[in-house]
Chain A
Amino acid sequence: MTLTQKLFGAAATVALTAGTATADPAILFDLGGKFDKSFNESAYNGAQRWADETGGSYAEVEIQSDAQREQAIRRFAESGANPIVMAGFSWATPLGEVAADYPDTKFTIIDMVVDAPNVRSVVFNEHEGSYLVGMMAAMASETDTVSFVGGMDIPLIRNFACGYAQGALAANPDVTVIANMTGTTPAAWNDPVKGSELTLAQISQGSDVVYAAAGGTGVGVLQTAADSDIYSIGVDSNQNYLHPGSVLTSMLKRVDNAVYESFTAGDAVETGFNVMGLNNGGVGYAVDENNEALITADMQTALDDAEAKIISGEIAVHNYNSDETCPAYDF
């Protein structure tokens, strides 16, 4: 066989396999892997909920390297998967390049905006949910000092901290807010030991409520808070069950809902810019049997009031991403 023959034969094989198209949806997880107890796992839960309810099946991939991002999107698009959902802001660059090549495929990207006619961009109003847990923190604190441990120092995470500080100051103008970031690289998402150290440092500065928005690093923050008998606040998924009595609440970011909605809509998924906030259940805080005793009636009244006012627009929580400044905290 000559080389050209081989090449043509190969091209024919591709044409044949492309014929076996499926209309199953697909989900692409970020480098953290699907069982990270946080962001990716929440996305996985949404996909799994869809599969359980509809009996459908979906394609999924956990990539091993950045070079595989574009490859994964292209392969799923060519196999006919629709819609293709990807979790994490790092997908934006490859998706921006690939989306135009597959005009009939719908894409959903979570946590970042890609401006293309067949892309649905889902971003969350993390500052709104963080505002509420910030209020809760300030009301629960006896030392009038609350703190924040972030993962990687990026605008997304500063937005969590900024909303938290605004909420805390709204509930108690005398409160002191301390914020620390774990690091400046993706390794900061999975460094529970450093998270624990930062928490101890914040406790020594008087903090008695700590909010972790740090992926896997948060596990160390919550553990240290429980060991030191102070309150902690979890993030993304409901983490109340991790240390009942110590975890005051969890700021929920319903990545699972975003995935679930895209999967349910199928190839009719509405494209464009989509904000998930307090008004449409995109963010919120978790109350369950593990923490209901910690939330007093005063707190509940104040929280319900603030929530209604944020939804009606009476309280405008500043979004750090809009201008990269924060009125309540100086980074």
Chain B
Amino acid sequence: MDAMPKWADVILIPVISILLAAILSALVILAIGENPWAALKLMVDGALGSTYGWGYTIYYATNFIFTGLAVALASQAKLFNIGGEGQALLGGLGVAIVCLYVPWPHWTLALLGAAAAAALFGAAWAAIPAFLQAKRGSHIVITTIMFNFIAAALLNYFLIGALKAPGMEPATAKFPEPTHLPSFQDMFNFGDTTFFRGAPANVTFFVAIAACVFVWALVWRTRLGYEIRSFGESESAAKYAGINPTKIIMVTMLISGALAGMMAINNVQGEAERLVLNAAEGAGFIGIAVALMGRNHPFGVLLAALLFGFLYQGGAELALWTSIPRELIIVIQALVILFTGALDNMVRMPLARLFLSLRRA
């Protein structure tokens, strides 16, 4: 990786990838007879042109920060945790149980309690694949993705059974008033002008920022973080240095699962204020792209999460105001994921060669 200066790795590659995705998306929009420039303008206006748009962008970004951090942390130990979706669903179950059955006096305490429950449930869900990896060598990619399906089925079971509220929907009852988190609208209300009107962004965003700082400090400023990184670089060398691989796998995956689970305080407690089926809505998978694009660094994850928040909110605006079918909006979102996540090397390798030849010259 030393072929390129750091700025090229961190900035140039993501920017080129996004541009390529944007060009392809523009061609797709053109092919169905819409104006790509107008579509782009609509997306930017809708997602960033008002505090309302920002409110949604930040709401989505908050989800992606948590799941992105979960993937990024596990990646430091070269563990590919693609079970963020299931861990976030289980986190939602924890939040729902705590919010419904504990009489919280104030939202601050409810936030602490719900965050703890979400982290606990998410970590517990990650613990089983982690144990299987550490003790039995079952591949973590296979087990975590299978656990997503089990999580979805488990959630179905609770939402049509024990936790179901009366009515037709498979959903829990509305959480009681004291557990409702203050939204940005409540927080930034200065008399006459209401900012973030009706947007779901809430106090959880600051928890997400704190989580970014926590992960950064953990990975680069603690002994455990050093052990995690050493294990990731070389398991045999780490073993030789006296690092216990079982412990590292377990601890890393538990924290990773806890981070993914904590997404639920944003979408379940903060936005829906009840638990519905499929509450995570794919954020666990977006987390993989966010971590890849953010180079597994918390600050990168924050920026990438904001980009994906923009894509989600911009996509919703496209669906509202144009006749671009929603399937094509998914195609546009997928193109960005494809280029920034999966096709990273397509941009990286020619660029690395270019920098190498520049250096020789």
Real binding pair: yes
Evaluate contact between B168 and A156: CB separation under 8 angstroms. yes
Residue of A nearest to B323 (CB): A60
CB <8 Å contact, A7 and B195 = yes
A112 CA / B200 CA spacing, docked (Å)? 25
Are A184 and B160 in touch, CB under 8 angstroms?
yes
Partner of A71, one of B56, B156, B169: B56
How many residues belonging to A are interface residues under a CB distance threshold of 8 Å?
Answer: 34
Could you tell me how many residues of chain B have their Cβ less than 8 Å away from some Cβ of chain A?
37
Whether B284 is near chain A, meaning CB under 8 Å from some CB there, is no
Interchain CA distance A26-B45 in the complex, whole Å: 21
Given contacts A11-B195, A67-B267, contact A185 B170 (CB under 8 A): yes
A275 in the interface (beta carbon within 8 A): no
State the CA gap A66–B159 with chains docked (Å): 16
Digitize B279-316: 1 where CB-to-A-CB distance is under 8 Å, 0 elsewhere. Answer: 10100000000000000000000000000000000011
Determine if A67 and B200 form an interchain contact, defined as CB atoms under 8 angstroms apart. Answer: yes
| Smallest beta-carbon distance B162→chain A, Å | 13
Q: Among the listed stretches A72-80, A197-205, A310-318, which one makes contact with chain B, having 4 or more residues with CB under 8 Å of it? A: A72-80
B319 in complex: contacting residue of A64, A90, A93, A155, CB < 8 Å: A64
* Cβ of A89 under 8 Å from chain B: yes
Determine if A230 is an interface residue (Cβ-Cβ < 8 Å).
no
Interface flags for B247-263 (1: CB within 8 Å of A; 0: not) read: 00000000000000000
Q: Does B205 contact A (CB under 8 A)?
A: no
Q: Is B143 an interface residue (CB 8 A)?
A: no
Contact check, B320 vs A61: say whether CB atoms are below 8 A apart: yes
Assess whether B198 is interfacial by the CB under 8 Å rule.
Answer: yes
| Distance, CA A13 to CA B316, complexed state (A) | 19
Bound: A89/B168 CA distance, A: 8
Residue of chain A at shortest CB distance from B155: A185
Contacts of A71 in B (CB 8 A): 56, 198, 316
Q: How far apart are the CA atoms of A326 and B168 in the complex, in Å?
A: 17
Q: Is the CB of A11 within 8 A of B51?
A: yes
Tell me if A1 is interfacial: C-beta within 8 Å of chain B: no
CB interface residues, A 50-108, toward B, < 8 Å: 59, 61-68, 70-72, 74-76, 89-90, 93, 98, 101
At the interface, yes or no: B77 with Cβ under 8 Å from chain A?
no
Contacting pair B319 A14 (CB below 8 A): no
A10 contact from B51, B171, B317, Cβ within 8 A: B51
Q: B88 contacts the other chain (Cβ, under 8 Å)?
A: no
> B277 within 8 Å of A by Cβ?
yes
Distance from A74 Cβ to chain B, minimum over Cβ atoms (Å)? 5
| A68 lies within 8 A of B316 (CB) | yes
Most buried by A among B54, B320, B330: B320
Per the bound structure, the CA–CA distance linking A61 and B322 in Å amounts to 9
Alpha-carbon gap, A90 to B278, bound state (A):
14
Does B50 sit within 8 A of A, measured CB to CB?
A: yes
Select one of A14, A33, A67, A72 contacting B272, CB under 8 A: A67
Q: Do A64 and B316 contact each other (CB < 8 Å), given the known contacts A10-B51, A14-B50?
A: yes
Given A64-B315, A64-B329, A185-B156, A75:B51 Cβ within 8 A? no
* A7/B51 in contact, CB under 8 A: yes
* Residue of chain A at shortest CB distance from B152: A185
Asked if B156 contacts A64 (CB within 8 A), the reply is: no
User: A154 vs B169: C-alpha distance in the bound complex, in angstroms?
Assistant: 8
Among residues of B, the one whose C-beta sits closest to the C-beta of A60 is B323
Distance in Å: Cβ of B95 to nearest Cβ of chain A:
16
CB contact list, A9-60 vs B, under 8 A? 10-11, 13-14, 33, 59
Q: For the complex, what is the distance from the CA of A112 to the CA of B168, rounded to whole Å? A: 10
Identify the closest chain A residue to B169 (Cβ).
Answer: A90
Measured between beta carbons, the chain B residues less than 8 angstroms from A61 are: 319-320
Residue pair A184, B170 in contact (C-beta under 8 Å) = yes
Q: CA separation between A88 and B305, bound complex, in Å?
A: 32
Report the separation of the CA atoms of residues A18 and B302 in the bound assembly, to the nearest whole angstrom: 32
Measured CB to CB, the nearest residue on chain B to A77 is: B198
**Residue on A with the closest CB to B193?**
A11
Q: How far is the CA of A7 from the CA of B195 in the complex (A)?
A: 8
Q: Are A66 and B276 in contact (CB under 8 A)?
A: yes
Q: Is B235 an interface residue (CB 8 A)?
A: no
A10, A76, A186 — most chain B CB neighbours (10 Å): A10
14 further contact pairs, Cβ within 8 A, besides A59-B320, A93-B274, A112-B168: A11-B193, A13-B50, A14-B52, A61-B319, A62-B325, A63-B319, A64-B319, A67-B267, A70-B200, A75-B320, A90-B169, A93-B171, A98-B198, A101-B198
Nearest first, the 6 A-B pairs at minimum CB distance are A154-B168, A184-B160, A14-B50, A65-B281, A10-B50, A62-B326
Chain B residues with CB under 8 Å of chain A are 45, 49-52, 54, 56, 59, 156, 160, 168-171, 193, 195, 198, 200, 267, 271-272, 274, 276-279, 281, 315-317, 319-321, 325-326, 329-330
Q: Identify the A interface with B (CB < 8 A).
A: 7-8, 10-11, 13-14, 33, 59, 61-68, 70-72, 74-76, 89-90, 93, 98, 101, 112, 154-156, 184-186
Pairs A–B under 8 Å by Cβ, sample size 18: A7-B51, A10-B51, A11-B50, A11-B195, A13-B50, A14-B52, A59-B320, A61-B320, A62-B326, A64-B330, A66-B279, A67-B271, A68-B316, A71-B316, A72-B316, A76-B320, A154-B168, A186-B170
